[in-house]
Amino acid sequence: MTEVPAPDHAIERGTIRTLTAREMPLLREHLLRLDAASRRDRFNGAIDEKFIESYAERCLADGTVVIAYVEDEQVLAAAELHQPDSSSEGMPEIAFSVEQHVRRKGVGSILFRRLIAEAEGRGYGSLRITTGYSNEAMRALAHKFGAHLTFRQGETTGIIDLKPLTLPAVAGRSAPRGAPVEPADAARAMISVNRAWWQMVLKMYGLGRAA
């Protein structure tokens, strides 16, 4: 198992690594250490220790991938990638938790990048993230990585699209050079361009008004 040292701007003594099945109890201990507010943010509501213990057991049983920030053999922050078959919508879900004393040190961003790389390596096209509406740090982090968030019934839900951006000139935004363009996407883009051009022409000749 390869351990990746955390960058200097994070915490010098810690490492980022994917937990093995044998190390999953470290996730449970981390979640149990979260303060009340952090628990509410992580699970979108008040929960007790029994729930956390049961949750950690499910993560081990269903093959949840946990990428953690580990310091002195303690998990102080965790990024979870839940498999699609464990979701009611059939979409892989992600979740994050960071203990209070290691926040605002870049750990969350590091874990987010590592988790997205893991999801892309598994061929996932999109990820679902859900957090409490009051969790401003997580909402800001999700926005940073392209999540489109909506608020409903006390929680914030977002989708992160992992598919490469296509035809940036048509979409009005930039994308990395060499991003592949799928035929279907190209066709839809051309239809949009043609429609916009004809609408402009018809408007010039006064033919674009509704009857």
Task: Note the pTM of the prediction, 2 decimals.
Answer: 0.68
Task: List pLDDT tens digits, range 14-33.
Answer: 999 999 999 999 999 999 99
**Other CB atoms closer than 10 Å to residue 203's CB: what's the count?**
11
DSSP string for 132-177: ETT-HHHHHHHHHTT-EEEEETTEEEEEEE-SPP--HHHHTS---T
The Cα–Cα gap between 185 and 71 comes to: 45
Question: What share of the chain in percent tops pLDDT 90?
Answer: 38
Q: How many helices (H) and strands (E) does the chain have?
A: 7, 8
Task: List pLDDT tens digits, range 50-79.
Answer: 999 999 999 999 999 999 999 999 999 999
Q: Cα angle vertex 50, ends 46, 55, to 5°?
A: 85
> Across all residues in the chain, what is the average pLDDT?
75
Residue ranges, CATH 3.40.630.30, the chain: 4-163
CA torsion, ordered 13, 17, 23, 28, to nearest 10 deg: 80
Burial letters for 130-169: b for 16+ Cβ neighbours within 10 Å, e otherwise? bbbeebeebbebbeebebebeeeeeebbbbbebeeebbee
Does residue 46 register a pLDDT over 70?
A: yes
pLDDT computed for residue 12 by the predictor: 62
Task: List pLDDT tens digits, range 71-121.
Answer: 999 999 999 999 988 666 778 999 999 999 998 888 989 999 999 999 999
Does residue 130 register a pLDDT over 70?
A: yes
Domain 4-163, CATH class in plain words? alpha beta
Task: List pLDDT tens digits, range 163-208.
Answer: 764 434 333 434 444 444 444 444 444 444 344 444 443 444 444 4
The Cα–Cα gap between 102 and 90 comes to: 33
pLDDT computed for residue 156 by the predictor: 77
Instruction: Pull the structure tokens for residue 100.
Output: 């209070």
Mean pLDDT of 135-146: 77
